[in-house]
Structure 1
Amino acid sequence: MTEKTPAELREQRARLIASTGLTETVLRERAEGFQLYPEHYDIWVTLEGIDMHLAELTEGEQSPELKEAQAQARGWEEKYFELVERYTPAAVQAAALREWLPVLRRAVESLPAKCPYHDDTTPHGVWREACCDTGIPARRRELAEKALVALGAEEAS
């Protein structure tokens, strides 16, 4: 395997972009819109690979202090969300649940109650979610109704 320096990778990347006759911005926009010719798509995939490799290389070049600071920041962020979740008053959580339960119920009621072709919506085997593809919304409605009943019972207690 040939090892290239980051400078060589950037040079190769620039040559690839130039070979398309497009700017990098236009190439990116067309790739996001799935509007590339096959040869340009191959170049785009190669560019993404080079970018990922460059990111890995520059990550390895980070100073130990920066890595430690990033790890510490992630730890503080996790601790913050844990504390917010732990100390959000139960009354606030219950009020939010009361506010959103009717909305969820209306959304669930918009799903069909049964399959248009079969009355049975139970899963068939481990590989099928419902009786057929058209029965999937009815099966999901059934499961969502059970979850809403459980949430309503939890709210009442």
Structure 2
Amino acid sequence: MTEKAPVELREQRARLIASTGLTETVLRERAEAFQLYPEHHDIWVTVEGIDMHLAELAEGEQSAELTEAQAQARGWEEKYFELVEKYTLLAVQAAALREWLPTLHLAVESLPAKCPYHDDTTPHGTWREACCDTGIPARRRALAEKALSTLTTEEKK
């Protein structure tokens, strides 16, 4: 691999751009819009490679403060993406909850509020879910209302 000085790389870059007959701005815009002829695309890819190489060369000439600041910025960026990954799922879950809460409330309201035979629907012993078989929907409604009120108060926080 041959090493060129940054000045030579900039000259080569300028010659490549001039060989297209386009300005750098027009070349960049067309590349971003995928509207380049194949030979112009090859030149653009080469120009981007030269730019990256020049950036790497310039990075080696940076001051210690700038290098430290870039390392700190990379650390912050990693922390940012870590937090985004962590909280995106929570935001999606919260949005789903907000979307389905009205439907859940309607479903709970469709259950009877009390047993048609008894006012008290509390379970009797460990083997019975409610006061009787007809009291089970009322008991489940009470439990669902409790869960929904908990979810609604957590959603408001």
Query: What is the TM-score normalised by the length of structure 1?
Result: 0.50
Q: Compare CA radii of gyration and give the structure with the larger one.
A: 2
